[in-house]
Amino acid sequence: MTRRSTLRTARNQPQQPRSRATVSVILEAAIRVLEQDGWDALTTSRVAEVAGVSVGTLYQYFAHREAIVEALQNRELERASEMLERLLKSPEPKSDRELARAVVEALFGLYKAAPALHRVLAVDGLRLAPPETVVAFDARSVGLVKAFLTVASARLRPMSLEAAAFVIYQSVRASMLAYFLESPAGVNDDVIVDELTELTVRYLTT
């Protein structure tokens, strides 16, 4: 399967500042379109218009429509990964419950900042061009969780670390996302954080 290259990099030199700026403008525009009008409004011309550049310019930086979403995805996945890594590898000693809560809260913050974006990344991103990207990111996150579980295994219940990491990662992520998407009755910000913390602690520790 030949995969089209996605970012159009200037032939060689370290991207000019102007270029960088334009790429940014376009991505921000894409987010705005997404947040305001949803996935189906994310047409190349709409994004260009909102970004205040011409379609041509957009295509100077993104090989095709999907490349825009891909770029957004990568940016966001990167942020989430970093957050996870930072917290899980933090040297400050915390109780397991404190750590679980910290992770849940950090994720909460990420999603709350741009719920529509995450909705799209989770929902549409999954069906988009490179399913590998999402799978790979999930694998990477699960890997981080698993690494942590391995270190902490003494304090945990006996279990398949692979599976446990996978399950807790998916559970927390999906519940959080669904919370933002569905605003379920009887659940609020505090409660969801509490419950997901509880879920994590109870599922993993003895």
Q: Write out the residues near DNA by the rule CB under 7 A.
A: 10, 13, 16, 18-19, 22, 40, 42-45, 53-57, 59-61, 64-66
User: Three-state secondary structure along 41-60?
Assistant: HCCHHHHHHHHCCCHHHHHH
Question: What Cα–Cα distance (Å) separates residue 107 from each residue in 64, 162, 180?
Answer: 30, 21, 12
Rounded Cα gap, residues 194 and 205, in angstroms: 16
Site string for a copy of itself, 62-91 (x = CB under 8 A): ------------------------------
Q: Per CB under 8 A, does 156 bind a copy of itself?
A: no
Q: Which token pair is 107?
A: 């994720």
Nearer to DNA, 61 or 108 (CB): 61
Element (H, E) at 96: helix 96-113
Rounded Cα gap, residues 31 and 69, in angstroms: 9
| Segment 116 to 135, residues that bind a copy of itself, using CB under 8 A | 123-124, 126-127, 131, 135
Rounded Cα gap, residues 67 and 90, in angstroms: 34
Shortest spacing between CB 206 and a copy of itself, in angstroms: 10
- Total Cβ atoms within 10 A of residue 72: 21
| The entry of a copy of itself, DNA, none that residue 167 binds, CB within 5 to 8 Å by partner kind | a copy of itself
Nearer to DNA, 44 or 81 (CB): 44
Shortest spacing between CB 83 and a copy of itself, in angstroms: 20
Q: Per CB under 8 A, does 1 bind a copy of itself?
A: no
Q: Which token pair is 104?
A: 């849940």
| The entry of DNA, a copy of itself, none that residue 10 binds, CB within 5 to 8 Å by partner kind | DNA
| The entry of DNA, a copy of itself, none that residue 55 binds, CB within 5 to 8 Å by partner kind | DNA
